[in-house]
């Protein structure tokens, strides 16, 4: 799933500046793979790990990946400027975002990492929070429902309080069980770099200056 997710993002951005016919075909094909193979429409989560015949290997609800897809797949449809495809994707975007909001977003304003076999796993990670801000803002743009704008702002306020390192810069990688920042984790490692949070900033800047 995750590999396809970031290829989707790359194809979308490339197509915006290079609307090649072969690239368009591949981007459309990738959207269909998400719609037909990766998204579980009974639960509105993605199937994370799949066999070569698209059989699901594990039942894991990855709230961060699912809310990330909610806006990336909508951006892909928008890039193609296909009105019928956008109409197909819009309810998918809304269901993905609202499901994660209902199941994984907390009253404190942060998104849980994942749930497997009924148990929350992974602690409180940095990147799902960045994806939540963009996804909630995206749904607000689509629906004009103030609840989603409030959720985006509330998540951003939580980020400012708990994740931003005001002394040395960047974001902490997550919180420890006692709710304090994990200061032992590097600011950049195999699974962390200024990607999700920088992209969040670029997206919000672009969306508020259109």
- Per-residue pLDDT tens for 151-203? 999 999 999 999 999 999 999 999 999 999 999 999 999 999 999 999 999 99
| pLDDT given at position 117 | 85
| pLDDT given at position 186 | 94
Angstrom distance (rounded) from CA 71 to CA 137: 9
pTM of the model: 0.97
| pLDDT given at position 210 | 85
17 to 72, 82, 192: CA distances (angstroms): 17, 17, 28
SS (H, E, C) 47-93: CCCECCCCCECCCEEEHHHHHHHHHHHHHHHHHHCCHHHHHHHHHHH
DSSP3 helix / strand / coil % (the chain, rounded to 5): 55, 10, 30
Mean pLDDT of the residues in the chain? 97
Q: Give the three-state DSSP class for 136.
A: helix
Sequence spans of domains, the chain: 2-208
Domain 2-208 carries which CATH code?
1.50.10.10
Q: How confident is the model at residue 118 (pLDDT cuts 50, 70, 90)?
A: confident
Q: Which of 204, 197, 72 is nearest to 130 (CA)?
A: 197
Q: What is the CB neighbour count within 10 angstroms for residue 186?
A: 11
Q: Please list the residues that pair with 56 across neighbouring strands.
A: 50
Beta strands 114-116 and 60-62 are antiparallel
């Amino acid at each position: 799933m995750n590999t396809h997710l970031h290829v989707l993002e790359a194809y979308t951005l490339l197509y915006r500046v290079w609307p090649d016919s072969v690239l368009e075909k591949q981007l459309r094909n990738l959207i269909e793979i998400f719609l037909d193979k990766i998204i579980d429409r009974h639960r509105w989560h993605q199937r994370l790990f799949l066999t070569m015949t698209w059989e699901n290997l594990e039942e894991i609800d990855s709230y961060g990946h699912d809310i990330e897809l909610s806006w990336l797949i909508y951006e892909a449809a928008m890039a193609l400027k296909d009105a019928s495809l956008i109409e197909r994707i819009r309810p998918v975007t809304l269901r993905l975002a609202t499901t994660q909001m209902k199941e994984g977003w907390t009253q404190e304003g942060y998104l849980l990492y994942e749930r497997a076999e009924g148990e929350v796993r992974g602690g409180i990670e940095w990147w799902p929070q960045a994806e939540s801000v963009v996804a909630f803002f995206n749904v607000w743009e689509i629906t004009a429902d103030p609840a989603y704008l409030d959720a985006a702002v509330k998540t951003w306020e939580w980020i400012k309080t708990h994740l931003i390192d005001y002394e040395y810069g960047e974001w902490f990688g997550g919180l420890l069980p006692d709710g304090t920042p994990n200061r032992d984790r590097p600011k950049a490692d195999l699974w962390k770099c200024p990607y999700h949070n920088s992209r969040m900033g670029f997206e919000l800047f672009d969306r508020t200056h259109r």
